[in-house]
Each structure stands twice: as C-alpha cells, then as structure tokens.
Chains A and B, each alone.
Chain A
Amino acid sequence: MRDPATIRLLPDGRRLHLNDGPIDLIVAADGAIENICRAYEAAAARFVTILDELCGELPLLRSRVGQNSPLPNGLIALRMFTAVAPYCHRCFITPMAAVAGAVAETVLAAMTRAAPLTRAYVNNGGDIAVHLAPNQTYTIGMVECPENPSLFGSVEISEALPIRGVATSGWRGRSFSLGIADAVTVLAATAAEADAAATIIANAVDLPGHRAIQRIPARQISPDSDLLDLPVTRAVGLLSRQEIEQALQAGLSVAQELCSQDLIQAAALCLDEHTRVVTHPQERTSMEIIRRSLLHA
C-alpha cells in the first residue's frame, strides 16, 4: 500500500511540512500573508509529483556519471546531473549525490514564481535552498549530527552574497559517506551544488586504511544503493588529535580547491569536535564557529 504524501502545517502554524516516501521538506516563507499562502500552495502543488518524476528514471539517476552519460529527462534530474557533473572526472559520483538539494531548490523556485516573498527556505533534511529579497539575511545554525542537535557554528547569508544553497553531509547522516567527517556544511550558489560539494568534501575527510574505521560495501546494507560496493563508513573509533588533523586537512585541501574553482563559497568541516573553515577568497562570507577547538585554516 502506497502511503499518500503528507502536506501539513507544523504545530507552530507557520511552517509547512511536506513528506512523500524518503523526501521530507520543511518550508518557511516571510512576506505578506496572502503571498505566503500562495507560495505554500504552489510548493504543495509542485511537491506531489516529484517522487514519481524521480522514480521514473531512478536507474539512470543511480548510475555513475561519466563523460558520455545520457542526460536525464526530468528538470529536477537535470539539476542533479548538472550539479555533480564537475566531479565526474575526479571520482565516482551519481546524480543522487545532489537529489536533496535539487528537490529543495525546485520547490523553492515554484514558491518564488507564485508570489513575491521577502525570505523563504526549503529545508530537505539539512540541504537547504534559500530565497532572499534585497537587503535580507538568514542566519543558519550548523549541527554535526541531526539526531543529536548541538550547534557547532552559525552562518549568516545575506542577499548580496552569491549563496542560495546550504548543504550538510557526514557519515552519521541518513545517506552513506565514504569519509569520516561528522559534518561538512557547504555554502554554494544553489542547493544542488552545495549538496554535491558537501558529499565530495565529506568523502575526502578520511584516514584511508585506518583500523579504527569500520567500513562496509554499501550494497551489503542497502541492496539498491547507488554506491554499489564502495566501502561506506559505519563506525569511527578513537582517533588521536594528530589523526583528526590529518583527516581534516585532507578534506580542507579539496574544499579549498572547490572554492578556487568557484564551485562553492565556503565550507565548515567538523570531525570529533574539531572544526575547520574554508571561505572563498573574494567573498566576505563569515562562518562563525561558536564552540570547542577552532582550528583556523
């Protein structure tokens, strides 16, 4: 029996909750009340077909992207494909690495088309698409582990910055990671781009071959995982401070490279209560790390 999609206001009476299968969105908008209503209606109307659109070409979206990969048909699928394409030379990546961000920005686009809004966001399990009218800002808190929220930092996104997407990836999250980062939060031009980049950087925070890290081929856990038999992280044992440094440094150099290629605007990498930050050289993005040992990059 297929469960119907959930469309409801959260108990605060302000935010919209949309759920369909594995897609779970929290939507908020600021503006005139009638515009918020129109935007929410547009979000719900756009939302209800998304899962079917994606499932219609799921085998393709779960396949590794290469130079000669066929383009998918759906518009969301195209956003996913475009967001991961810059990484297809460097490593194994499938469009699924950007699915959450692509869904978030698609729903947000439907909202901003429907009505003028001062601010809005669509949060797809930590991958967030934001809309800002001139002179508006959002402050976003960053956590390492969604099941155990504890802020490790915050970031302010203003309309003047070329940032409309925030995404977080880590091995503790819902999707698999090849690395050991507790959380890598990335700011980028779009949510799909942030999503793909967070995956790449989180994979890079790693200590290859370390004994304390338990890894299992993805398909041994989920038979239809897009990661096939790549070893995904299941547990991270005790690491020395030096090893933490080393793993973070590996992720940091990838993040710096992506910054210099304009693929991202900033990233915060978090491992075992140690945090490091990378920002784009030309931008004034500030990520405020509020807790514990702040190691400057």
Chain B
Amino acid sequence: MTEGLPADTIRCDACPVLCYIKLGQTGACDRYGNFNGQLVRVDPHILLDRAKSQGTPLVPFLEREGEWDGKLLKSTETFVTAIGAGTTYPDYKPAPFIVSSEVDGVDLVTVVTEGIFSYCGVKLKIDTDRHLGPERNFVRAQGEPVGHVTTAEYGSQMLSLGGVHHLTGGSKSEGRVTCETLLDLCNGKEVALTIDEGARIIVAAGKPPIVNGQQEERMRVGCGSATIGMFAKQWFGKVDEVVVVDDHITGVLSEHQAGKMLGLRETGIAIAGRRSTPGRYFQVAQPGTGWGGTNISDPLTILKPFKHKFAWPHLRLLMVSTTGEQFAYYELDDALRPIEKELPQQLQDSVARIRENCEPALTTVLFMAGAGGSLRAGATENPVKLTDSVKRSITRVTCGGAPSYVWPGGGITFLVDVSRLPENAFGYVPTPALVAPIEFTLKKSDYASLGGHMDYVRPLADVLREKQRQRQLTSLPENPWPLDPAAENDPGK
C-alpha cells in the first residue's frame, strides 16, 4: 500500500488503525494529522464561549446532540483559542489565525497559534511532608531521567520536569519518555515517577499525590512548633505534655513559649534531636514517609528517658504529627515509662481540629515554555516588538484562553496552570517537543504599530463562519475573560 505514495505521507501509530496520512490531511479519527511531514494532534479548533453564569460546566458543543437551543453566538462572547489552530513552524509565516473583534468600542486583535516548544517543561508542586528524595536527584519515568528534585516549599516538594536537555539532549528514549510524561501531566493524566534514592509517586494535576502507594490527604497547617502555638490553649488542662512530630521543627508544649505562657509545669521530657530554641527541635529523625515527614513509625523512638527529677507517674502525653494523621497517647507508669493508652475523647477533638485545618493535598502542574523567534515572527514582522509589548502589558498572553504569567526579562517565557485549560489542550510532535496553544491579544492600533501582519487580520465573524473542525466550549468560570479590558493577567488572581 505504501508504493506510489508521496514521500511526505506518514503512518500514524496512535491507534491500531495505523492510517497513512498525506501531507495536510488527518487520519480516520480526525485527531491526528500530517503537518509538514510530522504527526501532530489536530483536535477540533477550540473556541471558548463565555460562561453566562458562574459554574457553567465545560461541555463540548458537539456532544449536546439534539439539545441545541438555537442560540447564535455574539461575537464578543467568543474567544478563538489556539487549541487545534495549527502552527507557524517551521517557516516564518503569519500565524494561522489573526482575529479582530470589537469589545466595548475598542478594536482588539488576537494572534492565535499553536507553538511547538522544545524549550518547555513542567513545575510540579506536590503537597506532602513526606520525603520524596534528596534535592537535585533525578526524577524518572519508565526508568528514564525526565527531571529532578528541586526545592522544598511550605508543606510541599517541588519537582522540575522536562526542559530541552531531557527532551533533546539525551538518548532518543529519554526524549520520547520525557515528552510523553510532560504531555500526560499537561493533559491532566496520571503519571508514575520514581526519584533516585527516594519515593515512588503517582501524580496528576489537581489530584492528591500518591507517595509509595499511600495517597496524601492533607497539607500540614504549620511546622511542629507552629502547631503547638496554634493549639496550646485547646490542650491546656486536658494533657500534661504534647509533642508535635515534624521533619522540620518538632514542637514540645511544656518547653514552648506558648506552654510557658499558660504556666505549664516542666515534665522532664527529653527529645532525641538538635534543640533550636526552647520547645523547638531540628532533626529528631531522618526524613521519610512516616510521622510528620520523618522516617519513624514509632514516635517513642524520638524520646529519651524522662528525667526523674521532673516527671511523675500518670503524666499524660500526646504525640501527634503535623497533619494530625498520626497520633498516640501515653501515660507514664510508676517507673516513668510511657505506656500507650486509648486517646481520651477530650483530646480526640484537638487531633481532629489539626486534621481539619490542613488543606487537601494536591499536585499542581504549571507548564513553562518560551515562545521562540519563529513563533513571535508569526505575530509580527519584528519579533522583538512583540516581546516588548508583552513586557509593557500592552499585549496579553493567554494559553488556550487561560491566564499566563510572563516571566520578567528577555524573551516570552510564560507559566500557566494546566488545570485552567480546556481538556486535552496539549499535543506533541515526535521531534520530540510539546505543542501548546498561545494567544496574543492587543489593541488593533497597537498591533499595527508593532509591525503586525495587518493583511491577515480577519474579523471574528469570518472565522466563526468556518464551522468545520471547530468546537465551542464554555470558558472556565475561574478564568478571567481573555478579551475583558478589566481582566487581570495575573494567574494568581
């Protein structure tokens, strides 16, 4: 069947149909196409329909079969995203869609393109106190290095995955696996990762991380010392000593400033760790996936014998982790040894309070990429002017209609929360590189002055008329409307 086919015909391996796809055509599924001889995912071009009311669910228009309400789209209520728009790569030609629309009397232009990003990756924030692995160690998928462990942040561990060195700098298999991992994470799918000398994790954007087979439930409310400070009053009178076990700072109630303020009696407790300030201890154990992000499963291992000078029989001791997920209650016997007892009702409430103050633990995924010169040339004849107008906030950058944060400094390097994009907004090319949507919106007059491709500007109504291969979605209510003059460009808002 291959004989006589033009050389630029490719065979798609996305499913067992194994279509031969000619240049510029798509396969039987209409999802994959041959773009300049490369297999590219070309799902229908997505237009965002402004949500009329808060909480309108994201429903692909095509799937409302037979239930269409006959509504015609008002032009300013529709934003043309770059998802499925096609790209300018590899030659310098105007972006596939340069769309003009009028919003509140102002003519706006949106330059819509899909970028092929070799310089891209994801930053993962994994809400966990468990030790995932030493800083700088490799993060692997299917055995291939796809990124590394970077800093620990408050209640979270950060990973940096992808980047040009993993995508194109290593072996072919490293590049392919990195691309697949990034694509899955960006499209909200689950990915299994291992960290050298560390944990096995399963992560997906917006879902709780699973560390060594255990699903994380909650983020800690504060370090062990902070927890003591927050709950000291609630423990007062109900227990003689509390130890909040934490990999960072373990807190001890009777020695802590908060306990002293309440006039708590010295208990003779001795902690096996490095004392920082009163009631605060570093390094009570090794980092791990046990209590409060340490490697311990029996909390008594961090205690040395009670000092007989201060301790007394029947002394009541609560030990609890920073998230309240682990706890144990002891009373001292006549030899001043802690004996585990059932947690009294009056302390159960305080443990539950710690737990409920800990927010749900999630993995969040930010996609980070740099818009290269040829992409920028698709928007204007003088690419640096586009960069400049983005820096001066004249041009708004969105990614599939979602707000982005543009990193200060040279170039257009942006970050976007992948969970704010429509489903399956990302694609890939076998280079390997990721395909991501990017839209630049600015005033028409500004576009002209920065050397925009004015001859290619088309009215929105004109684009909407090409109904084939378009798909209308409702915008996510948490995203600012990309064409709103008041819309904040700050994704943190």
Q: A-side interface residues toward B, CB under 8 Å?
A: 1-3, 10-12, 15, 17, 20-22, 24, 26, 51-52, 55, 58, 123, 126, 139-141, 143, 145-151, 154, 172, 174, 220-224
Contacts and interface: CB of A to CB of B under 8 A. Distances in A.
23 contacts: A3-B14, A10-B59, A10-B63, A11-B59, A12-B57, A15-B63, A20-B15, A21-B16, A21-B29, A22-B17, A123-B65, A139-B66, A147-B62, A147-B470, A149-B61, A149-B68, A151-B66, A154-B66, A172-B468, A222-B19, A223-B20, A223-B22, A224-B1
Nearest to A149: B68
Contacts of B468: 145, 147-148, 172
A58 B25 contact: no
Nearest to B26: A222
A36 B164 CA distance: 48
What is the interface of chain B mostly: helix, strand, loop, or mixed?
A: loop
Nearest to B1: A224
Contacts of B5: 223
Contacts of A12: 57, 59
Given A1-B180, A10-B59, A222-B21, 19 more contacts: A1-B13, A3-B15, A11-B57, A11-B59, A17-B63, A22-B28, A24-B29, A26-B65, A51-B15, A55-B16, A140-B66, A141-B65, A145-B468, A147-B467, A174-B30, A222-B22, A222-B28, A223-B9, A223-B22
A189 to B, nearest CB: 21
A143 B64 CA distance: 12
B25 A221 contact: yes
Contact of B20 (A10, A58, A141, A224): A224
B13 to A, nearest CB: 7
Contacts of B28: 21-22, 222
A149 B14 contact: no
Interface in B254-274: none
A52 B16 CA distance: 7
A139 B67 CA distance: 11
A277 B171 CA distance: 62
B68 A151 contact: yes
Contacts of A139: 66
B17 A58 contact: yes
A221 B15 contact: no
B27 interface: yes
Contacts of B20: 222-224
B469 interface: yes
Contacts, number: 97
Nearest to B24: A221
A55 B17 contact: yes
Interface in B178-228: 180
Contacts of A224: 1, 19-20
B58 interface: yes
Interface in B58-89: 58-59, 61-68, 70
A55 B62 CA distance: 27
Given A21-B17, A224-B1, A11 B65 contact: no
Interface of B: 1, 5, 9, 13-22, 25, 27-30, 44, 57-59, 61-68, 70, 176, 180, 467-470
9 tightest CB-CB pairs across the interface, nearest first?
Answer: A21-B15, A141-B66, A148-B467, A223-B20, A22-B29, A55-B16, A22-B28, A11-B57, A149-B68
A1 B30 contact: no
* Most chain B beta-carbon neighbours within 10 Å: one of A1, A2, A221: A1
A107 B15 CA distance: 20
B374 to A, nearest CB: 26
A141 B69 CA distance: 12
Nearest to A20: B15
Nearest to A220: B22
B27 A22 contact: yes
Nearest to A123: B65
B25 to A, nearest CB: 6
Contacts of B467: 145, 147-148
Nearest to B4: A223
A96 to B, nearest CB: 10
B94 to A, nearest CB: 25
Contacts of A21: 14-17, 28-29
B25 A222 contact: yes
Nearest to B180: A1
B180 to A, nearest CB: 6
Nearest to B469: A147
Contact of B68 (A52, A150, A220): A150
A277 to B, nearest CB: 18
Contacts of A11: 57-59
Contacts of A154: 66
Contacts of B176: 1
Contacts of A148: 467-468
B59 A51 contact: no
A109 to B, nearest CB: 21
A141 B68 CA distance: 9
Contacts of A58: 17
A221 B5 CA distance: 11
B184 to A, nearest CB: 10
Given A22-B27, A223-B5, A51 B16 contact: yes
